[in-house]
Structure 1
């Protein structure tokens, strides 16, 4: 029987991020992916030119349809856009008792906003406490905590623990926005760092959808029954391979996507 994971997120018409990236990552890791679309974006590797939020009753209906039939083992939550969408998602998954990966998507790789400023409080209040693991980059962590971006690793750890204090079981503080030759991702729990994952910082512009891909890969691992540490490690290794192979795809003129199927077919 296939392990099933559900992604609740926005659609990226360019195929590199959002629902499309989530389903690609889940499939690449041997997990059946179901989806609930929260918003439709007109998007490519250069810009987001339009965003249309799906009516909340349709979002609720999608979640009810999937959870009412499929044996979902893990949920990944991505772009939610508005306080109203956050509220309906939180209510619809209230009875789900499996692991939840929350990727607090705020800004696209192009720099375009994907979360309304007034929605950050609702995200912090309604969904962060439901997260088995929260996966912010450093700017997203800072906005959730209403502070400045963390610098040294001790500040990254402190912000991770502050986010755990908001109710998340664990936080993966992603170091892609930091500087230095080595990228550090810290998995933080109530007592401090649970795991540190490192990789060389690659000189590439093709990193569109990395956050979506990583969080979905973690959800895939959890759906397969891996521990959180093992799921994060598997996802980190998978994403590094997808970034290394990204330049070979040559998709678009801006920030191109990672190669989700680098283990299956060469570009």
Structure 2
């Protein structure tokens, strides 16, 4: 099966890794020669890390034979396209429109964590557009959120679910609504944790430890925000606040940290030092 992944950042590289390990031929599209090189390197590094932990059935070198990284997406007989570009509606719509032309028979999936699938599908063959929300790190996290909109064909949803389950993931199906299920709940807890830190209720470490040991979370909400990226969490919270009301309004502490460039693990500092 040929699958196209558009966007070679953290999520795109992780999705490409997952697909390669699952036996797919993968075409990974990025813009510009430098990003193409970086995208390939990210997939190689991800596979090497998994191999070092004995999580691959085949060698990284063998799996990479099925990977092609391109600057521009031309005609590809793909069955599935997954876009994993930044959370910008117009950017994602342009990318999906390009994919619809280059891969005329493919199911078109967005990895968005909060944007409206209905809006992304506007002007496209909506019966084959859906959300496939993977979680970071993609090769390790068990969950994928499959997002329906009113125009989605049931047989397309069933086909996509089968593909994802064949990759060893657990699928939950949700209606297209702001934040879907996971981002809506995750951001609500994350914003409240930041408010608690802002109000001096407890330290970041103690807030996270409370959620890990008291509620069984594998990772506390503040460390998770660092992992996702404070800028990403801020954008999602602003979107949810606009759609669902002030209970999702980002705390000033989050805005201040983003303004200072403290974006979490990717910059070395967020609510914790990395």
Quickly name the TM-score band, shorter chain normalised: 0.3 to 0.5
More strand by share: 1
The normalised TM-score by structure 1 is 0.36
For CA contacts below 8 A with separation 6 or more, give which structure has more relative contact order. Answer: 1
Greater helix content? 2
